[in-house]
Structure 1
């Protein structure tokens, strides 16, 4: 199963709604399906220029590395040389900050990824998770 446009729109709406309820800075949200194809993107009024690129790098990095960007950032702290190489060889398609979250169906299969940028990594990630859950889906790394 892959992420549909309808599901992506629900994730965006709920993520942005969560951000507004939390008083977040203006956000950008980028969604990819399981094949890394862009499905949907939204940028709130006032979000700065690079937010699109950062949100995309968070989503792409999570999907490409098979883990949420919070997990990847922790791994990168322990092995910075390797992750600098990954960022270089992927032409910057990995952002080492929370806010890139894998989207899974209820059986645990990866459907895509969402990347959010605009506030702190913690806030970006919380908005991503709120959006995923509001769409009736699951998230993150399965054990």
Structure 2
């Protein structure tokens, strides 16, 4: 995915951060719908690239029961008062952005919907390592049949 998205902005470096798994030497598996999970991460990374100054970092952590993907950037971040509403459809916190400059305000609501289908959560916070925003997706490794 890094190779796929990196050409979008040549001035922003997309890197792989810490990738941890609890199962040493075993193939790491995650029960998820790959097409939708790919779309969710793609939306987060392309959004981070739009707002980053120089760097976007993608990390993941696989534990016995839980999966987590973090997308950090070194952009201006998102004000805490907008953290919940940023996942609302058509929401933009930057009034200067228009459809012509990219986006319709749907990407993050799609991310939240996809991760909800996987019985997980989409969260935003401050990036401790890069100083901008950190978007996190977490969901159970094993999905319960409905």
TM score, norm. by length of structure 2 = 0.27
Higher strand residue share: 2
User: RCO greater where, 1 or 2, for CA within 8 Å and sep 6 or more?
Assistant: 1
Larger Rg: 2
More helix by share: 1
